[in-house]
Amino acid sequence: MLTKVSTTKAPAAIGPYSQGIIANGFLFASGQIPIVPESGEIAQGDISVQAQQVMKNVSEILKEAGTDFENVVKTTCFLADMADFGAFNSVYEKYFTGKPARSCVAVKTLPKNVLCEVEVIAVV
């Protein structure tokens, strides 16, 4: 059985997908970009500002699914510029203190030309 996860405290999906799906005791959350849910606008600022908003969005999806950062087992992080790796990690490490498995790659372009995107898999 699959359960869709949806909250107004994180940005609505901007395409034909769900914020997250719970399957077999795991949350598979869609990638979050730095959209401020209340305004629908991109958080303005450098990678640190945008990463902070991404973490807020991830947090709300985790909460809606009944879990938290400590139960995240895998993240996939996308950066628009690998030169932002250190600054991104400075924000990331404040949230993912359990040090889940991770992939982090630079990509040519992210949706809405943001600087970062993060998706997670967590135990619920």
Quickly list H helices, 1-124. Answer: 47-64, 85-95
Cβ neighbours around 52 below 10 Å, total: 16
Contact 112, 86 (CB under 8 A): no
Contact 4, 18 (CB under 8 A): yes
Identify whether 77 is a catalytic site residue: no
Parallel, antiparallel, or unpaired: how do β-strands 72-79 and 116-123 relate? antiparallel
> What residue type is 1 in one-letter code?
M
Q: Which of 21, 36, 49, 104 is catalytic?
A: 104
Tell me which residues are annotated as active site: 104
